[in-house]
Structure 1
Amino acid sequence: MTSAIDQPTVQLPSEVRMPMLGFGTWQLTGRRAYEAVREALDVGYRHLDTATMYGNEDEVGRAIRDSGLSRQDVFVTTKLPPERAGRERETIAASLAALGTDYVDLWLIHWPPGRDRASIASWRELLAVRDEGLARAVGVSNYDTGQLDMLVEATEEAPAVNQIRWGPALYDSRRLDEHRERGVVLEGYSPLKTTDLHDPVLVEIARDHGVSTGQVVLRWHIEHGVVVIPKSGTPSRIRENFDVFGFSLSEGELRQLDAMGR
């Protein structure tokens, strides 16, 4: 296993470091969420992804406190639901109370609130919340390039992160380049659900490295500089998904996996 300090990170604005491998908590609720997050932290994850709409911020916060880790050692992301546009302050206050912390490391707009300027108004509120120290960095989720540009044109500030569905089958080099050109970190969710883990190319690469096909998919993200947040409530799978730092993919293998998106 790789210790927390050995994990690769990406830099966000204001010198904020974000671990490239995170633990997703979508669909994990109640005791199951608490136990999964405790397991993830025990294994070595130092990046947790939650959201208001997941209904598990209380459990995530309690797991962090019970882990014995310092708050500063865990990168925490939560998200603003689109129906809360116009109630940003109320929402971040509720998230902080549920998590039991004075700040989050990253706050995202979960989905674009609509085609009107509500997204821009929400983005301005996120920037203000960041400036007040309630979030160390702010960003968006499920935005296309045009929507990113709308926010930049309105405020002259790009989101630090855009969290979207991503995986080899969804690979789009142009979209990845568009994020990099704008200084936006691409973060991929549902990496294993968006991938055929029985694909012969993936199976062969996994066999050559003595790892699972899921581990190859996660390593592929990291090799491309894409933050990735696998989710599982199963202890053995939580451990397996974290164990991706002991091998690397060749340029040829990356090209083969990239081709799954064509």
Structure 2
Amino acid sequence: MNSATSNFEVDATGVSPKQIHNLIPSLKLADGNEIPMLGYGLGTANYKSGDSADTISEPIVNATLTALNAGYTHLDGAEVYGNEVELGRAIAQSKLPRSSLYITTKTIVRAGDTVTQSFNRSLEKLGLDYVDLYLLHSPFFAKNPEELQAAWREMEKIKDSGMAKSIGVSNFLISHLQTLFDIPGGLQYPPVVNQIEYHPYLQHVVEGEDLVAFCREKHIALEAYSPLTAITKARPGPVDPIYTQLAKKYGVSEAEIAFRWCLDQGIVTLTTSSNEERLKGYLKKLPSFKLTPKEVEDIASAGKEKHYRVWWTEEFAADDRH
């Protein structure tokens, strides 16, 4: 199983934000590359569509610059968010060395499109020569296993080109991952990351199937989006009193407890906050404490008493915990 380095436990009190990013550990992926454990996501909070799709959003550029200036070097984007141009502008305006940044983007694989075409568009919009991680945004575009396998073969060619240092997937269940592992002739490059909605009310355990355990068995790192769902969207719920008690114990916010719960499981975690004070606070507080194994388990156990899914609800029955 992949594991994070231990320096996330270092007390960062009084350390400036630009120094704090050096304290954030990286997770070593199965391909030998490393991914910072905490990242800034340009997700639906910065989504562009409709009339705004073809115009540059300075607020999105500025929000991303805020994250960069706060010390976040791991930036997570996607073609479908419509803001890769803004992400690229923020990177350029930051003047930070490209080698100090970790950039992710994703392809949704639209009808009539290819993974390669999508990737080339993304690189052009980002203004970059390469990305650190390229993901298939979801498996749901594929009408059959062969279509999903063909898309992965394109991903492998992109990896071979050197223009994506690592390749992975997002929103894949065990069945989708198994489809990739069943590619005739075997995988040249297995996915090294699976980015999923993950929080106490969606732990992806059902009928003896455990997605997190499966990924670990296959040496696929987990990356969590929407980790604050139990606080922001799903209240009231059974984890509320635990979050409250632990926040008081450690002198941090409930959001920081929610992030720490993911991090202490070795799961890369994304925030989409554009609040500068909050972003800096995460970087200061998260390295200063660690939940005990029992506290991690207490949250997990309470979370299983409730089910709540934010995204991709059209693909799942209301009570489906996959």
When normalised by structure 1's length, the TM-score is 0.94
1:254 aligns with 2:293: no
Shift of 1:194: 4.5
Match of 1:103 among 124, 127, 130: 130
Q: What is the one-letter code of the residue matched to 1:108? A: L
Q: Residues of 1 paired with 2:158 and 2:229: CA distance? A: 33
1:183 aligns with 2:211: no
- In structure 2, the partner of 1:125 is 154
Q: Residues of 2 paired with 1:241 and 1:169: CA distance? A: 22
Alignment of 1:132-211 (within 5 A): 132-154=161-183, 155-156=186-187, 157-172=189-204, 174-195=210-231, 196=234, 199-211=240-252
Q: Residues of 2 paired with 1:148 and 1:63: CA distance? A: 34
Question: Number of aligned pairs?
Answer: 262
1:87 aligns with 2:114: yes
Secondary structure, aligned partner of 2:190: coil
Q: Residues of 1 paired with 2:283 and 2:156: CA distance? A: 32
Where in structure 1 are there 5+ consecutive unaligned residues? none
Alignment of 1:35-46 (within 5 A): 35-46=62-73
- In structure 1, the partner of 2:93 is 66
Q: Equivalent pairs: percent with the same residue? A: 33
User: Could you report, residue by residue, the CA deviation over 1:187-212 in whole angstroms, capped at 9, with x for unpaired residues?
Assistant: 11111125457711111101100000
Distance 1:225-1:197 versus aligned 2 partners, 3 A rule: farther
Contact 1:32 1:233 in 2 (8 A): no
Shift of 1:84: 5.4
Per mean C-alpha deviation after superposition, the further-off stretch among 195-204 and 206-215 is 195-204
Secondary structure, aligned partner of 1:136: strand
Give the helix-richer structure, 1 or 2: 1
Per mean C-alpha deviation after superposition, the further-off stretch among 69-78 and 146-155 is 146-155
Contact 2:103 2:131 in 1 (8 A): yes
Q: Residues of 2 paired with 1:56 and 1:150: CA distance? A: 31
List structure 1 segments (4+ residues) > 6 angstroms apart after TM superposition.
none
CA RMSD, aligned part only? 1.8
Q: Residues of 1 paired with 2:60 and 2:111: CA distance? A: 24
Q: What is the one-letter code of the residue matched to 1:48? A: L
1:236 aligns with 2:277: yes
